[in-house]
Amino acid sequence: MAGAGVYGKTTRTKLSFALGSYASVFQAEIYAILACGMEILKTAPKRTTIQICTDSQAALMAIESSKVKSRLVLDCKKTLNDLASCNRVILTWVPGHSGVPGNEEADRLARLGSIGYPIGPEPILGAELLVCYYGLEDSMRCQATTQQR
């Protein structure tokens, strides 16, 4: 099971999300940034500097890329752009598992989310192409084995 966590030092926000069995680490990291942006948008801040930290370089590269390869990344970019329309938004990479207090708390919240049960049908965030490929491959192998008997 995958989970995502959001921790806001200034707002004292603590959020955990259960993302189910099919979500990848990459999807969980993108979802955490998306959820963080959505949470900040609820307060409708204006003319302020907002810093969002992540330990995922892959997530930052996907968000900064001009090529969008998933709906989740597109939703994340849109939310961050909405937030940046009236604010200065800074995305910052922090090293994972190195004692950065806010990141350690976000990781703890993500682990908490990973032991929970998602609300709604799986896959929660959509299935990545590789997951679909291996699922189809397993299904075909099973079908071939059944036909040989």
Percent of the chain whose pLDDT exceeds 70? 87
Per-residue pLDDT for 12 more than 90? Answer: yes
Query: Is residue 125 a contact partner of residue 72, using CB atoms and an 8 Å limit?
Result: yes
142 or 35, greater pLDDT: 35
DSSP string, 91-133: EEE--TTS--HHHHHHHHHHHHHHTS--SSSSPSS---HHHHH
pLDDT for the residue 121 = 83
**Sequence spans of domains, the chain:** 2-148
- Give pTM, 2 decimals: 0.84
How would you classify the pairing of strands 13-20 and 49-54? Answer: unpaired
Q: Name residue 105's amino acid.
A: E
pLDDT digits (tens, 9 = 90+) for 61-95: 999 999 999 999 999 999 999 999 999 999 999 99
Cβ-based burial of 82 (10 A; exposed 0-12, middle 13-18, buried ≥19) = middle
Per-residue pLDDT for 149 more than 70? Answer: no
CATH topology for 2-148 is Nucleotidyltransferase; domain 5 (3.30.420)
Bridge partner residues of 16 (DSSP): 5
Sequence-separated (6 or more) residues with CB below 8 Å from residue 8? 14, 36, 39, 40
Q: What is the dihedral of CA 72, 78, 79, 84, to 10 degrees?
A: 150
